[in-house]
Amino acid sequence: MSYVILQPTADPYARRNYQLTVESTVSLSVIQPHVTESTLNELTLSAEGGGVRVWGVRSVHITPYTRIRRGDVVLFARDKRFFSEADIIQKTESQTLATKLWGDPTGSSDTWPLIYFLTSPVKKDIAYPTFKEIVGYTNVNGNPAQGFTVLDQTRSQRYHEYEYEAAYQAIDSQEPLDTVTKAMARREQSALRRQLIGDKSEVECGICGRTLPVHLLVAAHIKKRSACTPDEKRNIPFIAMPICNLGCDPLYELGYVTVVNGIVQVAETSSVSLQNILRDLSGKRCKYWVEERRPYFDWHHQWATS
């Protein structure tokens, strides 16, 4: 499961740094001399136009920093609310990179060397009292983000459940092509991925069985989302599974492949090329078939074959 990190950005230096390297990307060519080859490769896979977002904290926060991982969620805070959210791609410790990005305005020689790299931030607007209620803070007065904080597993899970439910309820209340719906669909997909994939860099596709980088997979509803009840939509992670977007996702979505008792079954088709693709998938074992998912797989098979 991914953890939730609370990152205050209230002081002038933090506001400046956020504008420099979170609102804007940092070129990989700037980062490259300060990271390992494996870290650079991971950043390259997630880069936006040749760059990524970057944040850093001071050495005093080394204990919570060691807990953060790829896939964790960062909530940025200021002015008594959480105003944006991003996912962690990777992290590195580098005073030289910190100085390159943010200088040394305090003359402390400890200018945010505990660095983490981020996806593009998504706007949020969660007031502190609302957030405390979401995660179950009962004995925290005022600001829940007074310092760099990693929430425990229970509170992180409560936030993820809130995010997912808020997303799917917003989708259900909008017209199908509404701009808000598209944005919330991305938010719902992100919440599902966090539950299914967490901090892994590669996972297995539920149809073809290939282990692939996570950016090549989606968190696919096993039962069509439009047919799910509210309780079924809340049944995370069992309502979904990872499926690759190298062909398996549309094949499953359109009913060309189904899963019965954990085994991939395929439809007949007059297309010779498509039949060859389906033949390679037929009989593969779906790693994600468990009893808790059986009703959703059975629904999909019945829908596809009716």
Predicted confidence (pLDDT) at residue 174 exceeds the cutoff of 80: no
Q: Are 230 and 166 in contact (CB under 8 A)?
A: no
Comparing CA positions, the residue from 111, 83, 101 lying closest to residue 24 is: 101
Query: What does the pLDDT read at residue 183?
Result: 57
Q: Are 7 and 75 in contact (CB under 8 A)?
A: yes
DSSP state of 173: T
Mean pLDDT of 264-276: 93
**pLDDT confidence tier of residue 177, bands split at 50, 70 and 90:** very low
pLDDT tens, residue by residue, 15-31:
999 999 999 999 999 99
Q: Are 18 and 78 in contact (CB under 8 A)?
A: no
Q: With pLDDT > 70 as the criterion, what percentage of the chain qualifies? A: 91
Predicted confidence (pLDDT) at residue 201 exceeds the cutoff of 60: yes
CA distances from 148 to 8, 58, 80, 260, 284 (A): 7, 9, 15, 47, 45
Buried/exposed code over 11-33 (b: 16+ C-beta within 10 A; e: otherwise): eeebeebbeebbeebbebeebee
Mean pLDDT of 71-95: 93
Predicted confidence (pLDDT) at residue 58 exceeds the cutoff of 90: yes
Catalogue all structural domains in the chain, each as residue range(s) with its CATH number. Answer: 4-151 (3.10.590), 200-305 (no CATH)
Query: What does the pLDDT read at residue 180?
Result: 46
For residue 237, is the peptide bond before it cis, meaning its omega torsion is within 30 degrees of 0?
yes
pLDDT tens, residue by residue, 96-138:
999 999 998 777 777 899 999 999 998 899 999 999 999 988 7
Chain-wide mean pLDDT for the chain? 88
**pLDDT confidence tier of residue 140, bands split at 50, 70 and 90:** low
Going by C-beta distance under 8 Å and a sequence separation of 6 or more, which residues neighbour residue 22? Answer: 53, 54, 55, 76, 84, 86, 118, 121
